[in-house]
Amino acid sequence: MYAGKIVEQAPVNPLFEAPLHPYTQGLMAAIPKMDRPVPANRRLQAISGIVPSLYELTTACAFRSRCNFQFERCSEEPPIFEAGPERSVRCWRHE
Ligand code: SF4
């Protein structure tokens, strides 16, 4: 969920192996890997920006200000798109 809405649904293994939504991808990339420790001079990956205030949401995709993949279409809120067996994602990249 992001900003109060479901952005991706999938069975556990496919979700962890290949997340589709940029927010899910950012969350997965931020998980420390015990078998690959982060060198002392590096930081864990983080999603830039902050969650928008629910009072300031526009008609655009709520993740737009933090998304590295945003394009023109993202000025409209995406619906949920089917993205495979038991998978769905709220992102225009999967239209
Ligand atoms: S709809 Fe656009 S801004 Fe929203 S997550 Fe997808 S690519 Fe990013």
Q: Does the beta carbon of 93 sit less than 6 angstroms from any atom of ligand 1?
A: yes
Token pair, residue 91, equals 């992102």
2-20 pLDDT, tens digit each: 999 999 999 999 999 999 9
54-80 pLDDT, tens digit each: 898 899 999 999 999 999 999 999 999
Q: Does the beta carbon of 9 sit less than 6 angstroms from any atom of ligand 1?
A: no
SS3 sequence, 22-81? HHHHHHHHCCCCCCCCCCCCCCCCCCCCCCCCCCCCCCCCCCHHHCCCCCHHHHCCCCCE
Token pair, residue 11, equals 């069975």
Q: Does the beta carbon of 19 sit less than 6 angstroms from any atom of ligand 1?
A: no
pTM exceeds 0.95 for this model = no
CA distance 85 to 24: 18
